[in-house]
Amino acid sequence: MNVLQLTSDWKWTGPAEPMVRLARGLADAGHEVCLACPRPPDPGARSVAGEAERAGVGVALELERGRGARPLGGRTEVARLAALLEERRIEVVHAWHTRDHVLALRAAARRRRRGATVLVRSWRKAEAPPATPWNRWLLGPGSDGVLCVSPGTALRMAALRGGRAVRGAFGAVDVGRLAPRPAAPGTRKALGLEEDARVVGVVARVQRHRRFDLLLEAARRWFRLDPRARLLVVGRGTHRAEVAEEPARRLGIADRVVFAGYRDADYTEVLRSIDVLTFLVPGSDGTCRALLEAAACGIPAVTTRRGSLPEIVADGETGLLVDEDAGALAGAWRTLFDDEALRRRFGAAAHARAAELFTPERMAREVTSLYAEARAARRR
How is the beta sheet containing 319-321 ordered, strand by strand?
A: 257-261, 229-234, 198-203, 276-279, 301-303, 319-321
Residues whose CB falls within 8 Å of the CB of residue 188, separated by 6 or more in sequence, listed in order:
194, 195, 197, 199, 273
Instruction: Kindly list the domain boundaries of the chain, sorted by start residue.
Output: 2-172+359-379, 187-357
Q: Using DSSP, state whether 259 is helix, strand or coil.
A: strand
What does the pLDDT read at residue 71? 62
What does the pLDDT read at residue 379? 85
Query: Which CATH fold would you assign to the domain 187-357?
Result: Rossmann fold (3.40.50)
Span 147-175, pLDDT tens digits: 999 999 999 999 999 999 999 999 999 99
Rounded percentage of the chain residues whose pLDDT exceeds 90: 86
What does the pLDDT read at residue 35? 96
The yes-or-no answer to whether 2-172+359-379 and 187-357 have a common fold is yes
Query: Which CATH fold would you assign to the domain 2-172+359-379?
Result: Rossmann fold (3.40.50)
Give yes or no for residue 64 having a pLDDT over 90: no
**Residue from 13, 75, 63 nearest 34 by CA:** 63
Confidence of residue 69 (pLDDT cuts 50, 70, 90): low
pLDDT-wise least confident of 38-47, 190-199, 229-238: 38-47
Cα 142 to Cα 11, 49, 95, 98, 292, distances in angstroms:
26, 27, 12, 11, 31
**Residue from 163, 30, 140, 91 nearest 375 by CA:** 91
What does the pLDDT read at residue 73? 62
- According to DSSP, the residues that pair with 199 across neighbouring strands are 230
Pairing of strands 198-203, 145-148: unpaired
Span 282-304, pLDDT tens digits: 987 889 999 999 999 999 999 99
What does the pLDDT read at residue 31? 96
> What stretches of 223-318 adopt beta strand conformation (E)?
229-234, 257-261, 276-279, 301-303
Give yes or no for residue 41 having a pLDDT over 60: yes
Q: What is the dihedral of CA 189, 192, 198, 204, to 10 degrees?
A: -110
d(CA 276, CA 253): 19
Backbone φ and ψ for 111, nearest 5 degrees, come out as -65, -35
pLDDT-wise least confident of 65-69, 245-249, 269-273, 294-298: 65-69
d(CA 337, CA 276): 9
Please calculate the CA angle 374-376-379 and round it to the nearest 5 degrees.
105
Span 73-117, pLDDT tens digits: 678 999 999 999 999 999 999 999 999 999 999 999 999 999 999
- According to DSSP, the residues that pair with 63 across neighbouring strands are 38
What does the pLDDT read at residue 354? 97
Please calculate the CA angle 102-169-178 and round it to the nearest 5 degrees.
115
Span 132-154, pLDDT tens digits: 999 999 999 999 999 999 999 99
What does the pLDDT read at residue 68? 61
Span 178-229, pLDDT tens digits: 999 999 999 999 999 999 999 999 999 898 889 999 999 999 999 999 999 9
Cβ–Cβ < 8 Å for 12, 54: no
d(CA 326, CA 215): 7
What does the pLDDT read at residue 43? 86
d(CA 124, CA 142): 17
Cβ–Cβ < 8 Å for 324, 211: yes
Whether pTM exceeds 0.95:
no
Cβ–Cβ < 8 Å for 157, 123: yes
How is the beta sheet containing 59-63 ordered, strand by strand?
A: 59-63, 32-38, 2-6, 92-95, 118-122, 145-148, 165-168
Mean pLDDT, the chain, whole residue set: 94
